Amino acid sequence: MKRVSLFITLVLVFSLFAFGGILDTIKARGYLVMGTNATFPPFESFNTQNEVVGFDVDIGKAIAAKLGVTLRVVDFAFDGLIPALQADKFDIILAGMTITEERKKVVLFSDPYFDAGQVIVVRKGYKHFTDVAELANEKVAVQMGTTGDLMATEVAGIVLTRFPHFTEALMELALRRVNAVVIDSSTADAYVDFNPNLEVGSPVLSAESYGAAIKKGNEELLDFVNQVLKELKTSPYEAMLEAWF
């Protein structure tokens, strides 16, 4: 009898490891791994202590805390994030990543957590733009693989340079090697605040929403993330109203 119960216990313990879902795997490991590209303030950037900080990091921390684990942030090239997620290098991408139909073919996206759009950043005093099509014949820099890259790529006659990091694209602009950078609006504002020689030279040119990306098959993690996002978006007051009325 003893032997049988020992056997059953072993089978149960073993099956927990063998068949446990992604949430059990993360809990057993003790940390959640978030992939990002930390040249995207205020969502993710390096502080002076060389830590990645920002809105996305705080969302990652909230998800990790609900799982009872810590958060590890991995800085990666933006256009390599999805392949690395597929290769299990991270559990989740939080990188101000726009939910697009193309990306939805290969990853799961959480509910949207931030509304965004592209703008054109220029050196102060340079001409302004009202439409992306006006970038024809302009020298423009973008971050490789971003929605800004896609948008600029469609402009016939554009002279486009793609960089792994936004910092490099904006450096190129400051150094007068290009005349415009297509970049997400909130991040443009953050960079312009720090660089008095640059300004936003267009209205917001697209309507995009950011979502957390999760590997297909990890629906359990997706549901969990959506639950956490919902809780973050709902104030305690709203939750009380919902509970009592």
Which residues in 186-245 contact ligand ARG (CB under 6 A)? Answer: none
Position among 98, 110, 186, 218 found at the interface with ligand ARG (CB under 6 A): 98
CA pair distance 124, 115, nearest whole angstrom = 26
The string of DSSP letters for 70-127 reads EEEEEE--GGGHHHHHHTTS-SEE-SS-B--HHHHTTEEE-S--EEE-EEEEEETTS-
Site size toward ligand ARG, by CB under 6 A: 15
Name the DSSP class of 36. E
| Min CB(42)–ligand ARG separation in Å | 11
| Min CB(169)–ligand ARG separation in Å | 10
Told to check if 147 binds ligand ARG by CB under 6 A, we report yes
Nearer to ligand ARG, 14 or 41 (CB): 41
Nearer to ligand ARG, 189 or 220 (CB): 189
CA pair distance 48, 168, nearest whole angstrom = 18
Which residues in 61-80 contact ligand ARG (CB under 6 A)? Answer: 78
Burial of 63 by CB count in 10 Å (0-12 exposed, 13-18 middle, 19+ buried)? Answer: buried
| Min CB(60)–ligand ARG separation in Å | 13
Told to check if 60 binds ligand ARG by CB under 6 A, we report no
| Min CB(44)–ligand ARG separation in Å | 6
